[in-house]
A = this chain, B = another copy of it.
Amino acid sequence: MTDLLLKNVRPLGGAAVDVLVQDGRISQLGANQQAPAGVAQEDGQGALLLPGLVEGHTHLDKTTWGDAWYVNNVGSALTDRIDNERQWRAKTGHDARTHAKALALAFLKEGATCIRTHVDVDTDAGLKHLEGVNAVRDELADRMRIQTVAFPQSGLLKRSGTAELLDQALASGADVLGGLDPSAIDRDPARSLDVLFDLANKHSKPVDIHLHEPGDLGAFSMDLILDRTEALGMQGKVTISHAFCLGALETPRLNGLLERLAHLRVGILTTAPASRPVPSVRACRDAGVTIFSGNDGVRDTWTPYGDPDLLMRARLVGLRNDFRRDSELAWALACVTGAAAKACGFTDYGLHVGARADLVLVDASCVAEAVAQHRPKTLVVAAGRVVARNGAAV
């Protein structure tokens, strides 16, 4: 059932309207809509209406969601975490498909209808994790949109054979090509990025590069990424995730990079971590750079944190950026709604006629309250289907 009349809801806190959904899309939006014969009706009771939430960067394949608690005693270097996880997966036989599905459904219950998930591809596991998550993507396609990113978590050049695996991954259904710290991990930034961009170009796929490199090193790698984006005409097809360097540069250097990012339409993903320098949401927006957000890992061997409720991520974006005004909290929401959809290329998105009917009702007076306070969701509609009601999956 993908037809529905949703009565008395307030889009982004505006005046109350009714939303008519037909064939899984918004077909009418306005006062006093009537349900065609046989169409189910929901009373929104004046709730705040948000578009489906967008998880712009997570790792469905890594999660221990649904398992016993993973006791974390891992070292604090990036390579400690990478090596620990690869060994843990090999030892436990962790099944990416089962866990990815459990977490995807937890996201859906909390109103996330679009997800970009990075999936590890490495020479130990090959494409096993990716095949599992691709299967979940296809299985849940009637309810949610999941993009898979073939992600060389253990490095691209560092472990021989990885590029070939990524090539196969893109040929066999990964939606996006992932990358990782061409300087700090691969130790050969120019060659690493050449190999990566050649693969993306060969398969005509977008790129999403995890760039943890700090300060001037990160800025150096970022320029190399932007050079290749420009040379290959990949404007609008590249995301740089984390981009911590943008939080720790002198202003002229920062402004030069922001200008270039805007010009090449490269998106910036921030999880808004509290313990590191981060790109400023305000500075990116002011420069015309699309900045968006997501959890990164949820309950995995890397992190005990993460929450399928993306309004919590919006709250963390707000806290990290010291957003207190209602107008600023709307920017935090954009990071997990419209800006994320735009950056990831989820089309037909939003609260307008013709968009997919991905709708979230929140018992809140306005967007700011929904972001800053933990308010319950009363209804989640995904592609026109009611998938959760009052916090419980339907």
Chain A residues within 8 Å of B, Cβ to Cβ: 68-69, 71-74, 76, 272-276, 299, 302-305, 307, 309, 312, 315-316, 318-322, 324-327, 329, 365-366, 368-369, 371-374
Interface majority SS on A: helix, strand, loop or mixed?
loop
Query: Are A73 and B274 in touch, CB under 8 angstroms?
Result: no
Given contact pairs A275-B322, A304-B326, enumerate 17 new A-B contacts (beta carbons under 8 Å): A69-B369, A71-B326, A71-B366, A72-B324, A72-B326, A73-B326, A74-B325, A76-B324, A274-B320, A275-B319, A275-B321, A302-B324, A303-B324, A304-B369, A304-B371, A305-B373, A307-B374
Q: How many copies does the complex hold?
A: 2
Query: Are A368 and B304 in touch, CB under 8 angstroms?
Result: yes
In Å, the complex CA distance between A74 and B321 comes to 16
Contacts of A276 in B (CB 8 A): 322
In Å, the complex CA distance between A76 and B68 comes to 44
Query: Are A325 and B73 in touch, CB under 8 angstroms?
Result: yes
Query: Are A304 and B324 in touch, CB under 8 angstroms?
Result: yes
Query: Are B73 and A327 in touch, CB under 8 angstroms?
Result: yes
Q: A69-B366, A325-B74, A366-B69 are in contact. Are A274 and B315 (CB under 8 A)?
A: no
Query: Are A305 and B318 in touch, CB under 8 angstroms?
Result: yes
Q: List 10 tightest A-B contacts by C-beta distance, closest first.
A: A304-B372, A274-B274, A275-B322, A274-B320, A274-B319, A69-B365, A69-B369, A72-B325, A305-B372, A71-B326
Contacts of A299 in B (CB 8 A): 372-373
